[in-house]
């Protein structure tokens, strides 16, 4: 994980506004959300590992399962997950889970992020800031 400084930190927005701005750019709300926090994820690359720009957010008014929730953005960071190619050698969850969930457990859920991706991440954070900050910022 590589934290990236950004002017979006501590900014507060209605979640639906962020979704309208970020989803057309490829951001998705990660599946690991909870009622009071979640992440916008942008897939950067998937060569050898999955690289994501992740923007955490926390509910400040309401909860994430309620329409009209307001959230505060936190420090964006780059994340890398290395996956085993081929069949899942672990297969702890049995054959039924394998029919439903086709994704393997990462072999390294917090892999190192190469310098080239850090530069890409910084550029993506600048684009993020341009998308959601008022033009006078």
List, for residues 62-107, the tens digit of each pLDDT value: 998 888 999 999 999 998 877 666 555 555 555 554 544 444 555 5
- Ranges of beta strands (E only) in 1-137 are 2-3, 12-14, 28-29, 37-45, 50-61, 70-73, 77-81
pTM over 0.85: no
Evaluate if residue 36 carries a pLDDT over 70.
yes
Q: Which CATH number fits domain 2-82+103-132: 3.30.1540.10, 3.40.50.970, 3.30.310.100, 3.40.50.1000?
A: 3.30.310.100
pLDDT surpasses 70 at 130: yes
Q: Does position 60 have pLDDT exceeding 90, yes or no?
A: yes
């Amino acid at each position: 994980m590589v934290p990236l400084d950004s002017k979006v930190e501590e900014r507060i927005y209605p979640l639906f506004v962020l979704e309208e701005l970020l989803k057309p750019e490829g951001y998705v709300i990660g599946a690991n959300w909870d009622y009071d926090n979640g992440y916008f994820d942008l897939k950067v690359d998937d060569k050898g590992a999955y690289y994501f720009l992740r923007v955490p957010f926390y509910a400040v008014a309401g909860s994430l399962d309620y329409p009209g929730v307001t959230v505060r953005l936190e420090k964006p960071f780059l994340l890398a997950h290395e996956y085993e190619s081929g069949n899942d050698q672990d297969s702890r969850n049995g054959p039924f889970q394998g029919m439903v969930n086709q994704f393997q457990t990462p072999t390294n859920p917090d892999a190192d992020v190469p310098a080239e991706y850090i530069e890409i991440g910084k550029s993506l954070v600048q684009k993020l800031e341009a998308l959601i900050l008022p033009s006078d910022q």
